[in-house]
Amino acid sequence: MAYRLNITFESFGLAEPILRAVTELGYREPTPIQAQAIPIVLQGRDVMGAAQTGTGKTAGFALPILERLMPLANTSASPARHPVRALILAPTRELADQIYENVRQYAQHTGLRAAVVFGGVDIKPQIAALRQGCEVLIATPGRLLDHLGQRTVSLAQAKMLVLDEADRMLDMGFLPDIQRILQELPAERQNLMFSATFSTEIRKLAAGFLNDPVLIEVARRNAAAENVEQRIYQVSGLDDKRAAVAQLVRERGLPQVIVFTNTKIGAGRLARELERDGLNAAAIHGDKSQQERLTTLEAFKKGETVVLVATDVAARGLDIAELPAVINYDLPYNAEDYVHRIGRTGRAGASGLAISLMTATDERYLADIEKLLGRKLPCEPLEVRASARRHERSRDGVRSERHARSARSAPSGAGSTRARAPSSLAGYSDDPFFSQPYVPAAPVADDPAAATAAGPTAASARASRRARRPVAALLRAAPGR
């Protein structure tokens, strides 16, 4: 992929072992964020970066960090010779794991070591890894505090700190944890903070710990990736949506696709139905255990799974290299999620395809998205082959009959008085649980291990209370319907 910046990785003066790793990874030239961030981080300056995952941001901070640590690289087996010198904090285990994988690859020829700790998994292997020593530690805040509490890690020599996806950290209630971690670090250090958005809270946090930062901005917050082709297809109902997904994957020969649904239940159900329809599909959402999620993700990354059905919270921040397409089975209730979703494809300069399936009652969500993007997205009808629908009914007569019954009894989208009712759930409206709204910033609801990662702190308790509120409201509303 070409960014036409006429800047090369060599021009940064990076050490040969780092350049070799970058070449082996196939990076030909720096992305815009890398071109801006690498020289500044090399100078030792603090940075406030407005960049989303998918822009090449990880190498933007990791390569210069490794370069600055090169004089300290050594081949000694003694853990004492490998103290933590750079700490990278990330909001979720998936992001932490991804950053770790990248850093491990960038550092592979340097003699510098990396380790990752996150919640939701056994702490013992992490303790064993920390005992070996690591110059770069990647962590979610809660689990890091657990390790600090047990004295299985020391940050006394960590003179570089990265706060990645800072806006999500605040959304997830990690602020008190971050403040406690800051107290464990030497006062004199280099600080880098990255965030997709810059709210007043983020600026306040930045003012509290960044020292005369250089502001780096590569893409506006709501700028949808320009290299992503966006298509909106109108279909007539829930059954057509399912058939349309299978038809699009087959007809367009999509080797891999992430399909977004608005609910965890919807994700699991759709994956099962696509499996029955002969596609290799799996679901990833917060009701799955940590191990199941990692295994599912791994299988998808290896190309063993063709369709990954995901909820927003489970999918946000996932970096799946060269993903050719995403499909919005449900249009998101929150227009910003549309931008996050389509950002899963067309990463780091590659082209991508984002297809959204829309029924008549989704129109208001499309209007919100168009308002956010500042332009109209052309809609076209999609002819769903009758054979695809018949095929599905004949295979699962009982379920189809139940859908037909509940669809008859469900209120029509236009006449419904429920504000922002998820139209795609019409077939499940006989059970109030299925109408549970999507809660955009509720990691504890959709990410149980984030709660584990956070540990029994006031922050996680608050986040958990926040996450439960909308469900309670719905259950109260249900008898009246």
Which is closer to ligand AMP, CB of 27 or CB of 174?
A: 27
Strands (E) in 122-182, as ranges, are 136-139, 160-163
Going by C-alpha positions, the residue among 109, 111, 42, 103 that lies closest to residue 73 is 111
Exposed, middle or buried by CB within 10 Å (0-12, 13-18, 19+), for 224? buried
Contact residues for 48 (Cβ-Cβ < 8 A; gap 6+): 193, 195, 206, 210, 213, 214, 215, 216
Which is closer to ligand AMP, CB of 93 or CB of 347?
A: 347
Which is closer to ligand AMP, CB of 56 or CB of 422?
A: 56
CB of 233 to ligand AMP, least distance (A): 28
CB of 149 to ligand AMP, least distance (A): 30
Q: Where along the sequence are the contacts to ligand AMP (CB under 6 A)?
A: 1, 27, 30-31, 34, 53-59, 319, 321, 347-348
Which is closer to ligand AMP, CB of 194 or CB of 333?
A: 194
Backbone torsion region of residue 253, taken as left when φ is above 0, otherwise alpha when ψ lies between -120 and 50, otherwise beta: left
Please answer whether residues 51 and 223 qualify as being in contact, where contact means their C-beta atoms are separated by less than 8 angstroms.
Answer: no
CB of 34 to ligand AMP, least distance (A): 6
Which is closer to ligand AMP, CB of 143 or CB of 347?
A: 347
CB of 205 to ligand AMP, least distance (A): 21
CB of 253 to ligand AMP, least distance (A): 23
CB of 316 to ligand AMP, least distance (A): 12
Which is closer to ligand AMP, CB of 57 or CB of 340?
A: 57
Residue 353 has phi, psi (to 5 degrees) of -130, 130
CB of 441 to ligand AMP, least distance (A): 21
CB of 29 to ligand AMP, least distance (A): 6
CB of 13 to ligand AMP, least distance (A): 17
Which is closer to ligand AMP, CB of 56 or CB of 119?
A: 56
Tokens 């791994």, located at residue: 298
Which is closer to ligand AMP, CB of 34 or CB of 305?
A: 34
Which is closer to ligand AMP, CB of 219 or CB of 463?
A: 219
Residue 282 has phi, psi (to 5 degrees) of -150, 155
Exposed, middle or buried by CB within 10 Å (0-12, 13-18, 19+), for 232? buried
C-alpha–C-alpha distance, residues 130 and 115, integer Å: 7
Can you read off the two tokens belonging to residue 256?
A: 């891999």
Going by C-alpha positions, the residue among 365, 113, 141, 343 that lies closest to residue 223 is 343
Can you read off the two tokens belonging to residue 414?
A: 């236009």
C-alpha–C-alpha distance, residues 436 and 426, integer Å: 12
Q: Number of H helices and number of E strands within the chain?
A: 20, 14
C-alpha–C-alpha distance, residues 48 and 192, integer Å: 6
Please answer whether residues 329 and 260 qualify as being in contact, where contact means their C-beta atoms are separated by less than 8 angstroms.
Answer: yes
Q: What 3-state DSSP class applies to 162?
A: strand
C-alpha–C-alpha distance, residues 86 and 44, integer Å: 13
CB of 58 to ligand AMP, least distance (A): 3
Which is closer to ligand AMP, CB of 319 or CB of 337?
A: 319
Exposed, middle or buried by CB within 10 Å (0-12, 13-18, 19+), for 321? exposed
**∠ CA 175-177-180 to the nearest 5 degrees?**
110
Which is closer to ligand AMP, CB of 56 or CB of 352?
A: 56
Going by C-alpha positions, the residue among 111, 113, 129, 107 that lies closest to residue 75 is 111
CB of 214 to ligand AMP, least distance (A): 19
